[in-house]
Amino acid sequence: MQLQTGDILFVDTEGIVASSIDWFQGNDLNHVGIIIVANGKTWVFEAIDSGNAYTDFEDYKKRLASDEDLNLYIGRTKENIWDTISLDDIECFAKPLTDGFYNYLNLTVWQMVKYTTLKIFGKALWIGKTEEEIIKSKSYICGQLVMRFFNHFFGWYPNWGDGAPVDLFTDNRIEVTKFN
Protein backbone atom coordinates (compact mmCIF):
# COMPACT_ATOMS: atom_id res chain seq x y z
CA MET A 1 0.00 0.00 0.00
CA GLN A 2 1.35 3.39 -1.01
CA LEU A 3 1.00 5.77 1.92
CA GLN A 4 -0.63 9.13 1.23
CA THR A 5 -0.85 12.40 3.07
CA GLY A 6 -3.81 12.25 5.45
CA ASP A 7 -3.59 8.51 6.05
CA ILE A 8 -3.86 7.58 9.71
CA LEU A 9 -1.29 5.20 11.13
CA PHE A 10 -2.86 3.01 13.82
CA VAL A 11 -0.42 1.16 16.06
CA ASP A 12 -0.92 -1.89 18.25
CA THR A 13 2.09 -2.44 20.51
CA GLU A 14 2.69 -4.28 23.75
CA GLY A 15 3.81 -3.03 27.14
CA ILE A 16 2.20 -1.86 30.34
CA VAL A 17 1.09 1.56 29.06
CA ALA A 18 -0.10 0.15 25.74
CA SER A 19 -2.00 -2.65 27.48
CA SER A 20 -3.66 -0.15 29.82
CA ILE A 21 -4.76 1.98 26.88
CA ASP A 22 -6.06 -1.14 25.12
CA TRP A 23 -8.08 -2.18 28.16
CA PHE A 24 -9.65 1.21 28.85
CA GLN A 25 -10.53 1.89 25.21
CA GLY A 26 -11.72 -1.63 24.55
CA ASN A 27 -9.54 -2.35 21.53
CA ASP A 28 -5.92 -3.19 20.72
CA LEU A 29 -4.93 0.11 19.10
CA ASN A 30 -3.00 2.33 21.43
CA HIS A 31 -1.36 4.96 19.24
CA VAL A 32 -2.10 6.98 16.11
CA GLY A 33 -0.25 9.42 13.92
CA ILE A 34 -1.06 11.17 10.67
CA ILE A 35 0.94 10.49 7.53
CA ILE A 36 2.45 13.44 5.67
CA VAL A 37 4.33 12.80 2.42
CA ALA A 38 6.73 15.65 1.72
CA ASN A 39 10.07 16.18 0.03
CA GLY A 40 10.19 12.59 -1.21
CA LYS A 41 9.80 11.14 2.29
CA THR A 42 6.95 9.71 4.29
CA TRP A 43 6.54 11.16 7.77
CA VAL A 44 4.41 10.29 10.77
CA PHE A 45 3.25 13.40 12.62
CA GLU A 46 2.47 12.24 16.13
CA ALA A 47 2.23 13.13 19.79
CA ILE A 48 4.96 11.23 21.59
CA ASP A 49 6.60 11.55 24.98
CA SER A 50 9.09 14.13 23.68
CA GLY A 51 6.27 16.25 22.21
CA ASN A 52 4.54 16.62 18.87
CA ALA A 53 6.98 15.60 16.17
CA TYR A 54 7.63 14.44 12.63
CA THR A 55 9.12 10.95 12.54
CA ASP A 56 10.51 9.46 9.33
CA PHE A 57 8.28 6.45 8.62
CA GLU A 58 11.25 4.15 7.97
CA ASP A 59 12.81 5.19 11.30
CA TYR A 60 9.41 4.71 12.92
CA LYS A 61 9.23 1.10 11.75
CA LYS A 62 12.81 0.46 12.91
CA ARG A 63 12.03 1.92 16.35
CA LEU A 64 9.16 -0.54 16.77
CA ALA A 65 10.82 -3.53 15.09
CA SER A 66 11.77 -5.17 18.39
CA ASP A 67 8.08 -5.47 19.35
CA GLU A 68 7.22 -8.99 18.17
CA ASP A 69 3.50 -8.31 18.62
CA LEU A 70 3.53 -5.07 16.62
CA ASN A 71 0.62 -4.52 14.27
CA LEU A 72 0.27 -1.48 12.03
CA TYR A 73 -2.94 -0.45 10.30
CA ILE A 74 -3.63 2.35 7.86
CA GLY A 75 -6.83 4.33 7.96
CA ARG A 76 -7.79 6.18 4.81
CA THR A 77 -10.83 8.34 4.33
CA LYS A 78 -13.35 6.72 2.01
CA GLU A 79 -13.56 9.97 0.07
CA ASN A 80 -10.28 11.36 -1.23
CA ILE A 81 -10.59 14.59 0.78
CA TRP A 82 -6.89 15.21 1.45
CA ASP A 83 -6.23 15.90 -2.24
CA THR A 84 -8.03 19.22 -1.74
CA ILE A 85 -5.48 20.45 0.83
CA SER A 86 -2.07 21.76 -0.18
CA LEU A 87 1.08 20.49 1.45
CA ASP A 88 1.93 24.11 2.35
CA ASP A 89 -1.35 24.44 4.25
CA ILE A 90 -0.69 21.18 6.09
CA GLU A 91 2.84 22.21 7.01
CA CYS A 92 1.67 25.69 8.12
CA PHE A 93 -0.84 24.04 10.42
CA ALA A 94 1.57 21.38 11.75
CA LYS A 95 4.65 23.54 12.35
CA PRO A 96 3.34 25.48 15.39
CA LEU A 97 2.16 22.20 16.91
CA THR A 98 5.76 20.96 17.13
CA ASP A 99 6.22 23.33 20.08
CA GLY A 100 3.76 21.20 22.04
CA PHE A 101 4.34 18.55 24.64
CA TYR A 102 2.76 15.24 25.57
CA ASN A 103 -0.18 15.44 27.95
CA TYR A 104 0.46 12.62 30.40
CA LEU A 105 -2.33 13.79 32.72
CA ASN A 106 -4.80 13.37 29.89
CA LEU A 107 -3.57 9.87 29.15
CA THR A 108 -3.30 8.66 32.74
CA VAL A 109 -6.39 10.29 34.28
CA TRP A 110 -8.85 11.97 31.93
CA GLN A 111 -8.97 9.21 29.31
CA MET A 112 -9.32 6.55 32.01
CA VAL A 113 -12.27 8.44 33.53
CA LYS A 114 -13.83 8.83 30.07
CA TYR A 115 -13.69 5.15 29.21
CA THR A 116 -14.46 3.88 32.72
CA THR A 117 -17.65 5.98 32.87
CA LEU A 118 -18.53 4.80 29.37
CA LYS A 119 -18.19 1.16 30.46
CA ILE A 120 -20.06 1.59 33.73
CA PHE A 121 -22.77 4.10 32.80
CA GLY A 122 -22.93 3.82 29.03
CA LYS A 123 -22.01 7.50 28.73
CA ALA A 124 -18.53 8.98 28.74
CA LEU A 125 -17.73 11.74 31.23
CA TRP A 126 -15.04 14.16 30.07
CA ILE A 127 -13.28 16.10 32.84
CA GLY A 128 -10.17 17.05 30.87
CA LYS A 129 -9.19 20.26 29.15
CA THR A 130 -11.38 21.90 26.55
CA GLU A 131 -10.18 22.25 22.97
CA GLU A 132 -9.29 25.90 23.63
CA GLU A 133 -7.25 24.97 26.71
CA ILE A 134 -5.40 22.27 24.76
CA ILE A 135 -4.57 24.71 21.95
CA LYS A 136 -3.30 27.29 24.46
CA SER A 137 -1.21 24.76 26.43
CA LYS A 138 -0.06 22.89 23.29
CA SER A 139 -0.39 19.63 25.24
CA TYR A 140 -1.77 16.70 23.27
CA ILE A 141 -2.13 12.97 23.21
CA CYS A 142 -2.01 11.15 19.90
CA GLY A 143 -5.74 10.83 19.20
CA GLN A 144 -6.36 14.50 19.94
CA LEU A 145 -3.58 15.60 17.62
CA VAL A 146 -4.80 13.56 14.66
CA MET A 147 -8.43 14.49 15.26
CA ARG A 148 -7.44 18.16 15.42
CA PHE A 149 -6.01 17.86 11.89
CA PHE A 150 -9.31 16.49 10.61
CA ASN A 151 -11.29 19.13 12.49
CA HIS A 152 -9.11 21.97 11.23
CA PHE A 153 -9.28 21.00 7.57
CA PHE A 154 -12.70 19.32 7.27
CA GLY A 155 -14.74 20.13 10.38
CA TRP A 156 -14.70 16.51 11.52
CA TYR A 157 -14.50 15.86 15.26
CA PRO A 158 -15.61 19.18 16.78
CA ASN A 159 -14.97 17.56 20.19
CA TRP A 160 -11.46 16.43 19.28
CA GLY A 161 -10.22 17.41 22.75
CA ASP A 162 -11.39 14.15 24.28
CA GLY A 163 -10.30 12.08 21.28
CA ALA A 164 -8.47 8.77 21.32
CA PRO A 165 -7.30 6.22 18.71
CA VAL A 166 -10.47 4.14 19.09
CA ASP A 167 -12.60 7.14 18.03
CA LEU A 168 -10.77 7.31 14.71
CA PHE A 169 -10.68 3.54 14.25
CA THR A 170 -14.45 3.17 14.64
CA ASP A 171 -15.36 6.12 12.40
CA ASN A 172 -17.27 4.77 9.38
CA ARG A 173 -15.79 7.53 7.17
CA ILE A 174 -12.39 5.85 7.51
CA GLU A 175 -11.46 2.52 5.97
CA VAL A 176 -8.84 0.62 7.94
CA THR A 177 -6.54 -2.06 6.52
CA LYS A 178 -3.60 -3.94 7.96
CA PHE A 179 -0.24 -2.58 6.84
CA ASN A 180 2.43 -5.10 5.94
Q: Domain residues of the chain, as ranges?
A: 8-179
Higher per-residue confidence, 22 vs 99: 99
What are the φ and ψ backbone dihedral angles of 115, each rounded to 5 degrees?
Answer: -80, -30
Task: Please state, in angstroms and rounded to a whole number, the distance separating the CA atoms of residues 86 and 92.
Answer: 10
Provide the pLDDT for residue 78. 94
Fold of the 8-179 domain: endopeptidase fold (from Nostoc punctiforme) (3.90.1720)
For 114, residues 6+ apart whose C-beta sits below 8 A from its C-beta are 124, 125, 126, 128, 162, 164
Q: Residue 76 in contact with residue 174, Cβ under 8 Å? A: yes
Higher per-residue confidence, 95 vs 62: 95
Strands 101-102 and 139-140: parallel
What's the pTM value of the predicted model, to 2 decimals?
0.87
pLDDT band, very low/low/confident/very high, at 14 (cuts 50, 70, 90): low
For 40, residues 6+ apart whose C-beta sits below 8 A from its C-beta are none
| CA-based R_g, the chain, Å | 15
Q: What is the pLDDT of residues 163-173, one digit of tens each?
A: 888 899 999 99
